[in-house]
A and B are shown apart, each in its own frame.
Chain A
């Protein structure tokens, strides 16, 4: 039978992949995809803890949090893409290593 640890381990592996994506990609949009992966892993955790809640109250707070996270992820993607477009207009690339104007 599938229990809480199954979902938590799936979410943990997804989160690690997201962190790895952020660390290993040099394309700015690739980094954004890693952030989306981490947010999804957090959502799986929220919904799983809601379903396997220790105090049986029957509320769906975890699912509500997950809905808010999805909305915030969509908003974040829109703003991040606008920033990347500006970056591309200035540098003609989305390689994050090139954005070093403030480096001392």
Chain B
């Protein structure tokens, strides 16, 4: 892990040599395959628990992609907040709302055909547009080694108002979610 980070840091400092570029490319393809394969698993899997585990693997792959793009803080946030927090919340939701853990909900055949067609069309259009847009010659520009310092200064400087607003939002969401989840149950007991 240390050597990987050192290699990534070295890459940002100047033009990478052959071996470094090769390792970076190989890591990108490993994490990209993990993210894309798990995302397809999320779409295809019928079992909700298996879907959640696939989403966990996809989140880990995205965290690896962030590391490759020198967003180390974002990779850590992804692991802690998404994989550690949001996904655990979702798995609690699965446990609370399923009569049996392995209950299956099958979509209708027409839905599958129309949905798959739409998704294939969307994917074709997006990938064609990206390949034709001529963005391949863009070079890395924001490769400073003090990214976290810059991030912190921006978060408490230029973005101070959104930062404070989102903390108020989190408080509102906490109260709202607690009220929503609890109030109805009390009403149910009264009936």
Contacts and interface: CB of A to CB of B under 8 A. Distances in A.
Interface string A57-75: 1111101101110111111
Contacts of B127: 9, 12-13
Interface residues of B, number: 88
A13 to B, nearest CB: 5
B112 A47 contact: no
Contact of B42 (A37, A43, A50, A75): A37
Which of B81, B141, B174 gathers most chain A CB within 10 Å? B141
A70 B73 CA distance: 12
Nearest to A55: B141
Interface of A: 1-10, 12-21, 23-30, 32-34, 36-37, 40, 43-44, 47-48, 50-61, 63-64, 66-68, 70-75, 77-79, 81-86, 88-90, 92-95
Given A18-B39, A82-B181, 12 more contacts: A1-B25, A7-B69, A14-B62, A17-B40, A29-B94, A33-B90, A50-B142, A51-B143, A59-B154, A63-B71, A67-B77, A72-B166
